[in-house]
């Protein structure tokens, strides 16, 4: 049995619709069949349209092949699950469908912002969990669908528990995370397409300017937070901001490189571990970030 409804796309992970069908079994397999039937009935009862997903919902996609989604299995967050909705927003782009690439570009920009409102500390995310999103397709757009559901989804395996950490944070923790997240967002969101500075000096200088501005704001936020280690980090980031500003105003590629190396080292996540510990935040640098700075 298939669900006949407009579909939505999930970038990177699919949820192909297929409700369980229970077949006949031999007598020796009756017990297993009963358990399977119960599990199948539970799964069917938990099916929900992707159009009704809410922030906080924990779910399992129906299938693995990349494609479109009509429904997902909603499960309690204390059970093993593959994903959780951590943000949502509506696309306001007029009457014409922006195209698949256009919709993805909008989600790429907005979902990290929405996700950080719900789960600000990416250092506590389960291993292997990444940001994905359900978006309208051309078909669902024609029916009035404009919603994007942002999810943290495990690329392999499952995890347990809700990722909702924002409500439990203290004011100083929130201030720190907002400032820190903004710095790395500025770094990666403004990454030039060219691999070398010589091929796009203007692009790399623009990136440096954005990172410097984010660092200035982060340092200002840290001024209101007490703590020896926080003070040390503030001094480190102040120096880093100066180097990013030098990179932003570099006259040529050579001058840019001279400023860039210490600027990049200055925002090495390892530099913030002691301050995070002092603030009561997670202190294990995510593997992907550790790899970037290790290189």
How many beta carbons lie within 10 A of that of residue 289, not counting itself? 15
H-type alpha helices, 161-272:
171-189, 201-222, 228-248, 253-266
Q: Is the pLDDT of residue 35 over 60?
A: no
DSSP label at 127?
T
For the segment 210-266, what is each residue's pLDDT rounded down to a tens digit? 999 999 999 999 998 999 999 999 999 999 999 999 999 999 999 999 999 999 999
Q: Is the pLDDT of residue 28 over 90?
A: no
Q: Which residues of 97-123 are buried (b: 16+ CB within 10 A; e: fewer)?
A: bbeeeebbebbeebbbebbbebbbbbb
Q: Is the pLDDT of residue 15 over 60?
A: no
Q: Is the pLDDT of residue 23 over 50?
A: no
Mean of the pLDDT values across residues 91-109? 87
Q: Is the pLDDT of residue 128 over 80?
A: yes
Q: Is the pLDDT of residue 6 over 60?
A: no
pLDDT at 295: 67
DSSP label at 168?
G
pLDDT at 9: 52
pLDDT at 56: 95
More confident residue, 40 or 25: 40
Q: What percentage of the chain exceeds 90 in pLDDT?
A: 61
Place of tokens 């480190």: 236
Mean of the pLDDT values across residues 48-55? 86
- CA-CA distance, 64 to 15, in Å (whole number)? 6
Q: Which residues of 261-274 are buried (b: 16+ CB within 10 A; e: fewer)?
A: eebbebbbbebbbb
3-state secondary structure of 108: helix
Q: What percentage of the chain exceeds 70 in pLDDT?
A: 82
Residue 37: partners with Cβ closer than 8 Å, 6 or more residues away: 22
Q: Is the pLDDT of residue 274 over 80?
A: yes
pTM of the model: 0.79
The phi, psi pair for 144, rounded to 5°, reads 105, 5
The candidate with the shortest Cα–Cα distance to 151, out of 92, 77, 204, is: 77
- CA-CA distance, 82 to 259, in Å (whole number)? 42
- Range with lowest mean pLDDT among 13-17, 73-77, 167-171: 13-17
Both tokens of 182, joined, read 């903004």
pLDDT at 43: 56
Mean of the pLDDT values across residues 118-147? 90
pLDDT at 14: 29
Mean pLDDT for all residues in the chain: 83
Mean of the pLDDT values across residues 184-202? 93
Mean of the pLDDT values across residues 168-191? 94
């Amino acid at each position: 049995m298939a669900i006949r409804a407009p579909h939505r796309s999930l970038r990177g992970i699919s949820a192909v619709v297929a409700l369980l069908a229970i077949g006949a079994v031999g007598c020796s397999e009756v017990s297993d069949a009963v358990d399977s039937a119960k599990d199948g009935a539970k799964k069917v009862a938990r099916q929900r349209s992707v159009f009704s997903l809410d922030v906080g919902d924990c779910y399992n996609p129906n299938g693995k092949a990349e494609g479109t989604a009509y429904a997902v299995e909603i499960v309690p967050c204390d059970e093993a699950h593959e994903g959780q909705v951590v943000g949502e927003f509506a696309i306001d782009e007029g009457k014409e469908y922006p195209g698949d690439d256009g919709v993805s570009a909008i989600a790429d920009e907005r979902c990290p912002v929405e996700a950080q409102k719900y789960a600000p500390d990416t250092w506590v995310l389960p291993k292997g969990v990444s940001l994905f999103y359900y978006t309208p397709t051309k078909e669902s757009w024609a029916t009035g669908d404009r919603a994007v559901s942002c999810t943290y989804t495990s690329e392999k395996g499952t995890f347990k528990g809700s990722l909702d950490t924002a409500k439990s944070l203290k004011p100083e923790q929130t201030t720190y995370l907002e400032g820190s997240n903004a710095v790395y967002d500025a770094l990666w969101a403004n990454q030039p397409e060219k691999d070398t500075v010589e091929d796009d000096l203007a692009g790399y200088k623009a990136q440096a300017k954005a990172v410097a501005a984010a660092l200035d704001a982060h340092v200002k936020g840290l001024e209101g937070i007490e703590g020896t280690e926080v003070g040390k980090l503030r001094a480190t980031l102040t120096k880093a901001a100066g180097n990013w500003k030098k990179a932003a105003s570099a006259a040529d590629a050579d001058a840019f490189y001279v400023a860039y190396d210490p600027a990049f080292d200055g925002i090495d996540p390892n530099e913030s571990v002691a301050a995070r510990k002092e603030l009561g935040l997670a202190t294990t640098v995510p593997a992907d970030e550790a790899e970037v700075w290790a290189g």
